Structure 1
C-alpha cells in the first residue's frame, strides 16, 4: 500500500470513532478471519495479539516476535481492503520508529499500545513513562507522514492494580496523560459495569474503546454509554473455538 493510500486509510479509521455511535472493529488473527469479518460488512479491523499468538501456537504477552507479528499483519492487509489496526502489546522492546515503520510497511494504520511491559517482567509503566512512549510513537508517525491511529491502553483493571476504591480515578489520570501526549483513542481495557463505563467515557477527553463479548453482549448497549469503539479481544476466536468443539465432538 502506497503512502497516499496509507494516509487515506488512517484518516478513514480515525473518522470512524464517534462517541455514542461506536465503530465495531472485529478482532482478527489471520487472512481467513479478516475476510470473514469484511464479508460480514465491517469496514475496519483490529489484529489481536492474543488470537494471533494462539493461531501460531505461541503464548500471548509478546510470546512471538514483532517480525512474526508483521508477517501475519501483511497477510491480513493483503487479503482485505479496509483500515487495519494492530495490537502491538507493550512494543516488543522495539524503538518507536521501528514500530511505526514496521506497521506501515505491513499496511496497518493503527495500533494499540499497553502499559504492561512484558519484556521487563510484566511491570507496569508509570503514567508519565506511558505518555512518553505515546509521544514518541506520535512523533515517529508524523515523521513517516501518516497519522497512525494510536489507541493508548491501560491494564489497571485487568491487573486489579492497587486499591479498587480509586482505580477508576487512577485510570482516568493515566489515560489523560496519554491523550495529552498524542493518543487518538483511550482503552481502559476490562469489563465494566454501565455506571463505570459511562463515567470513563464522560471524563476522558478522547474516544473510548470498550471490549465486548461478541457472542453474549448486546450491541445496542454501548452507544448510550458514550463508547466510540468496540473490539472483541480474543473472545470472537474463543466463541468460534467453542462452536467448533461442539461440531467436532459429534464425531469423536
Structure 2
C-alpha cells in the first residue's frame, strides 16, 4: 500500500460513534507489539517518545532524532503511522513547512499539531495558528499526501480547574471551525473530560473529535455515544511500562 493510500485508510478509521483507539507508542518495538495485538493504526505520543530517549516533553528531543525514530516506527509496521509533532519545531510557516516535508519523507501519514506556544504559557492566536495549519496543508498537498492533520487545542490542558472548562467550550469550537477551514482533518481536545461538554463539542464541530483517555474509563462505547471519533491514551502506556519494570526489578532484587 502506498503512503497516500495509507493516509486515506487512516482517515476512514475516524468514525463518530465508533472511535478509533490509539494506544500511543514510543519506538519501533512498542509499535510492533501494538500492531501484533490487533491495532488498526499506530500513533506516537510526544511525552513518551521524549522520555524513552531521556528528554523532557516540549520539543526537547532533537528534530533529527525524532525524524529517525519516526522512520524506524514506519518501517516496523505496515499500519498507518501518525506522529505527535507538537508545534512542528518552528513558528514561521516557511520553516514549519520544511519540517513537515521532512516528516512526510519518513513515511508518516498523520500528525498531531498543537496550538500552544512551545516553551511559553500561552496559545497561538487563532489567526496565526490557522496560517500555520494552512501552510502544513499546502505542503502536504504539494507532496501529493492527504496528510491527516489532527489539530490539537491546549485550552483545557492550560486550565487546570475543570470547573472552568465549560467557559472555554465556545472558544474551542471557534478554534475548531477556523482550523477546519485551514485544512485540519481532526480536532483534539486533551484535558476535557466532562461528558456533556465533550458531547457539546462533538455536536458543534464537523471534524472528527479526538479525546484523551489515560485510563480505561469512560469506555469506548460511552465516548462513542458522545460523538467521539478517536481516543488517545497519551503517556499512560509508557508510564505503565516503566512502573512495571520497576516492580519487576524490585521483586528480583
TM-score band, normalised by shorter chain: over 0.9
Shift of 1:200: 1.1
Q: Which moved more, 1:190-199 or 1:91-100?
A: 91-100
The equivalences for 1:142-157 within 5 A come to: 142-157=141-156
Aligned residues: 248
CA contact (8 A) 1:113 1:150 kept: yes
Aligned counterparts of 1:161 and 1:172: Cα–Cα separation in 2 = 19
Q: Quote the Cα distance in structure 1 between the aligned partners of 2:146 and 2:229.
A: 18
Q: Which residue of 2 aligns with 1:105?
A: 105
1:251 Cα offset (Å): 2.4
Once the two structures are superposed, what CA deviation does each residue of 1:167-210 show, in whole Å capped at 9, x if it has no partner?
A: 11111111211011110100111141111111111111210011
Query: Structure 1 residue 92 and structure 2 residue 93: aligned?
Result: no
Matched, 1:192 2:193: yes
Partner of 2:129: 130
CA 1:165–1:201 in structure 2 vs 1: closer, same or farther (change >3 Å)?
Answer: closer
Aligned to 1:12: 9
Q: Give the match's secondary structure for 1:222.
A: helix
Distance 1:23 1:217 in 2: 14
Which one of 53, 67, 70 corresponds to residue 70 of structure 1?
67
State the TM-score, normalizing by the size of structure 2.
0.92
2:35 aligned to which of 30, 33, 38 = 38
Describe the superposition over 1:89-119 as per-residue Cα deviations: whole angstroms up to 9, x where unpaired: 1111172321321122111010011011215
Deviates more, 1:72-81 or 1:234-243: 234-243
- Conserved 8 A contact 1:103-1:109: no
Q: Closer, same or farther in 2 for the Cα pair 1:243/1:220, shift >3 Å? A: farther
Name the structure 2 match of 1:226. 227
Task: Give the 3-state SS of the residue equivalent to 1:124 in structure 2.
Answer: coil
Structure 1 gap segments, 5+ residues each: none
Shift of 1:246: 2.2
| Aligned pair partner of 1:52 in 10, 27, 49 | 49
Question: 1:169-188 counterparts in 2 under 5 A?
Answer: 169-188=170-189
Secondary structure, aligned partner of 2:234 = coil
